Amino acid sequence: MLLQVAPKGIEYDHTFDGTDASLPHIIWELRPSRVQILSQGKLFNSTNLLSYVRIYMGRPREDYSIFWGSTGDDPSLWELEAADEDHDKILMAVKKASQMGMPTQPPGGKQ
């Protein structure tokens, strides 16, 4: 839903304050400090395009985050990751269908 606000075909990088009224209420319930959206962006020293949403939580330090996005090496592979200051854990990884933007398999791998 948040990536749908990004213009198609160009790089979009925007950070919202956690209390921004344009964020969905389900995001507000997480009490984020900020929400970052990147679409069609590149990291330093890479030619891979990334798209993701990262929700940062914690004040005054951002101790925790939730990440949903492409990994860069394979733009069809998307990961859900939770992280704190010292650790991160991939909770789910799915291959997205190229045109539909939907997982090619439901969770658990059975169709």
Determine, yes or no, domain membership for 111.
Answer: no
Number of domains present in the structure of the chain:
1
Task: Give CA 45 to chain center in angstroms.
Answer: 21
Predicted pLDDT of residue 76: 84
Q: How high is the pLDDT of residue 71?
A: 73
50 within some domain: yes
Angle at Cα 23 formed by Cα 28 and Cα 21, nearest 5°? 90
| Residue 14 domain-assigned (yes or no) | yes
CA distance 77 to 11: 19
Full residue range of the structural domain in which residue 91 is found: 2-95
Residue 75 counted as domain residue: yes
From 55, 87, 57, select the one nearest 69 (Cα to Cα): 55
What is the pLDDT at residue 91? 94
Residue 38 within a domain: yes
pLDDT above 70 coverage of the chain, percent: 74
pLDDT of residue 51: 83
Least confident of 6-15, 53-62, 91-100: 6-15
Q: Which residue has the higher pLDDT, 7 or 33?
A: 33
Q: Reply yes or no on whether the pLDDT at 53 is more than 80.
A: yes
**Mean per-residue pLDDT for 56-84?**
86
80 is a domain residue: yes
**Within a domain: residue 109?**
no
Say what the pLDDT of residue 100 is.
46
- Joined tokens for residue 75: 């733009």
Distance CA 61, CA 72 (A): 27
**What's the pLDDT score for residue 22?**
86
Residue 15 lies in a domain: yes
